[in-house]
Amino acid sequence: MASPASDLRAEPDPSVAELLAARAQLRMDPFEGLMLEEVALRTVADALGTPVWVTSAGTLRGRYRQLADALDEAGLDAQLHYAVKANDHLAVLRVLQAEGAGADVVSAGELRRALLAGIAPDRIVFSGVGKSDDELMLALDSSIAQINVESREELDRLSVLADGAGRVARVVLRVNPDVDANTHAKISTGRAGDKFGIAHDEAPGLYALAATLPAIEPIGFAVHIGSQIADPAPFRAAYARVAALVRQVRAAGHAVSTVDCGGGLGIGYRDEPAGSPRALAHAIRLTLGGLGLRLLLEPGRWLAAPAGVLLSRVVRVKRQAEGPPFVVLDCAMNDLLRPSLYDSWHGVVPLSARDAVAPALPVHLVGPVCETGDTLARGRLMPELSCGARVAILDTGAYGSVMSSTYNARPLAAQALVDGARWATIRPRQPVAALWAGESVPDWIAAAGAGTAG
């Protein structure tokens, strides 16, 4: 089996001090231990137990403003539509809504969450390759800002549904620009052959067709090339493709008012360069600026990932005759899937200031789930941890809790929100009985087992 990338890295893992120095929202207090904003994380772990997700409202706000400011400074008329799938908790949506965010949703559930959080329908866009009839109808009935159409087949279906409902659907065509974002294959979405979007050479024809449909109003284009992208070059290449389409379609006599620039801006999980809002704004300005367009962005990870940590406790330290010990945590791949799914690297920092300065040794950090893939890190250089020690897994605010499952009959972890010196529980730990609450055993099966049970 291929080794996770962390086995192969030449550079030593960043130290606890280096991880904290790169994250303004976190610091180590000599008495209180690890602090997220002004809250000692051990207080949250004491009250709610582990594993527990903790989200920083202040970090969400700060990052939203940083991105909005970068777009303003570049002179762009741009609106941020938070990609709800990154972290769809109502409190997260509400914090961002209060900052002025709209939403990018990919399902009926996300659309309803966004509305519930108070995001105005005219600030909601709906993306995704497989919207069902029910989802398209909900989008039409909710009068959302636009539906991002991903295929000719979807356009046809939407036209029929909108016509039948006596509505006009505002549509942007999502284009596949055939640009390689040089990101992990599982989160690349803008290459020819990826399932997303309309081939860019077919887009002008489809736009012209859409303009002839009475229940469809085409207003522009969308593009989203993937996630965790730091290099502005693929963004620039994709936006240049879209700018060319805008010119071509306008030259053919059609109105184009809107370009949705998607999401994808990356963060520094380890020591790789983080995506820069200013560089992204510059890439947009160079390509799409000056076309008189209303611009949308759909950031998810960049806003939410650094705002969250996952707190966990060491349940066992299992030594081997040879090689690093296994440090078994009480969180697992069912809580945080990213390391198993994408070989992703997450910083791990002890909650206690004393633990944080223990001599560093290589360890394998694993969870209790019965899968070898349930591995958070292999050979990670960590301050020595003993049983009962608690840690924070960093940058888990995006694609963290939303990807959790109850595999191995492990209830969903609790969630808390930190805001300055205040904190609150925003979801209690799922009671274990909730796992089978909706299940039933058919009568004839229950009867057959009745005589032999016990």
Ligand X SMILES: *Cc1c(COP(=O)(O)O)cnc(C)c1O
Catalytic residues: 370
The nearer residue to ligand X, 37 or 298, going by C-beta atoms, is 298
Among 56, 87, 127, 415, binds ligand X (CB under 6 A): 127
Query: Which of 10-18, 37-45, 80-88, 437-445 is the region at the interface with ligand X (rule: CB under 6 A)?
Result: 80-88
CB 411 within 8 A of CB 349: no
The nearer residue to ligand X, 48 or 203, going by C-beta atoms, is 203
Instruction: Find all residues with CB under 8 Å of 354, minimum gap 6, and list them.
Output: none
**Footprint (CB under 6 A) of ligand X, residues 9-68:** none
Instruction: Find all residues with CB under 8 Å of 188, minimum gap 6, and list them.
Output: 180, 181, 194, 225, 226
DSSP string, 19-47: HHHT-TTEEEETTTEEEETTEEHHHHHHH
**How many residues lie near ligand X (CB under 6 A)?**
17
Least Å distance, CB 225 to ligand X, is: 10
The nearer residue to ligand X, 218 or 262, going by C-beta atoms, is 262
The nearer residue to ligand X, 34 or 105, going by C-beta atoms, is 105
The nearer residue to ligand X, 229 or 366, going by C-beta atoms, is 229
The nearer residue to ligand X, 264 or 379, going by C-beta atoms, is 264
Among 262, 367, 379, 400, binds ligand X (CB under 6 A): 262
241 binds ligand X (CB under 6 A): no
300 binds ligand X (CB under 6 A): yes
Least Å distance, CB 95 to ligand X, is: 17
88 binds ligand X (CB under 6 A): no
234 binds ligand X (CB under 6 A): no
Least Å distance, CB 381 to ligand X, is: 28
85 binds ligand X (CB under 6 A): yes
218 binds ligand X (CB under 6 A): no
User: Is the bond into 51 cis (omega within 30 degrees of 0)?
Assistant: yes
Q: What is the DSSP letter of 219?
A: E
258 binds ligand X (CB under 6 A): no
| Cβ-count burial 109-144 (b if 16+ within 10 Å, e if not) | ebbebbbebebebebbbbbbeebeeebbbbbbebeb
How big is the CA angle at 193 (ends 192 and 197), to the nearest 5 degrees?
65
How big is the CA angle at 425 (ends 421 and 430), to the nearest 5 degrees?
155
Least Å distance, CB 189 to ligand X, is: 7
The nearer residue to ligand X, 181 or 216, going by C-beta atoms, is 181
* Parallel/antiparallel/unpaired status of strands 52-56 and 39-40: unpaired
131 binds ligand X (CB under 6 A): no
Least Å distance, CB 269 to ligand X, is: 13
301 binds ligand X (CB under 6 A): yes
Question: What is the amino acid identity at position 17?
Answer: A
Distance CA 96, CA 118 (A): 10
Looking at the DSSP assignment, which residues form a beta bridge with residue 125? 104, 146
Among 224, 241, 282, 285, binds ligand X (CB under 6 A): 224
Distance CA 356, CA 350 (A): 5
173 binds ligand X (CB under 6 A): no
Least Å distance, CB 42 to ligand X, is: 30
Least Å distance, CB 3 to ligand X, is: 26
> Which of 276, 104, 442 lies closest to 113, judged by CA?
104
The nearer residue to ligand X, 103 or 382, going by C-beta atoms, is 103
The nearer residue to ligand X, 83 or 137, going by C-beta atoms, is 83
Residue 354 CB neighbour total at 10 angstroms = 11
- Residue 205 structure tokens: 């024809």
264 binds ligand X (CB under 6 A): yes
Distance CA 267, CA 273 (A): 7
DSSP string, 131-154: --HHHHHHHHHTT-SEEEE-SHHH
183 binds ligand X (CB under 6 A): no
83 binds ligand X (CB under 6 A): yes
367 binds ligand X (CB under 6 A): no
Query: Which of 56-64, 94-102, 257-265, 365-373 is the region at the interface with ligand X (rule: CB under 6 A)?
Result: 257-265
Question: Rounded to whole angstroms, what are the CA distances from 397 to 120, 307, 347?
Answer: 24, 5, 13
Least Å distance, CB 350 to ligand X, is: 28
**Footprint (CB under 6 A) of ligand X, residues 393-432:** 398
> Which of 378, 388, 219 lies closest to 315, judged by CA?
388
177 binds ligand X (CB under 6 A): no
Distance CA 263, CA 275 (A): 11
Query: Which of 62-70, 82-90, 338-346, 362-370 is the region at the interface with ligand X (rule: CB under 6 A)?
Result: 82-90
Residue 400 CB neighbour total at 10 angstroms = 26
Residue numbers of the site for ligand X (CB under 6 A)? 83, 85-86, 104, 127, 224, 227, 262-265, 298-302, 398
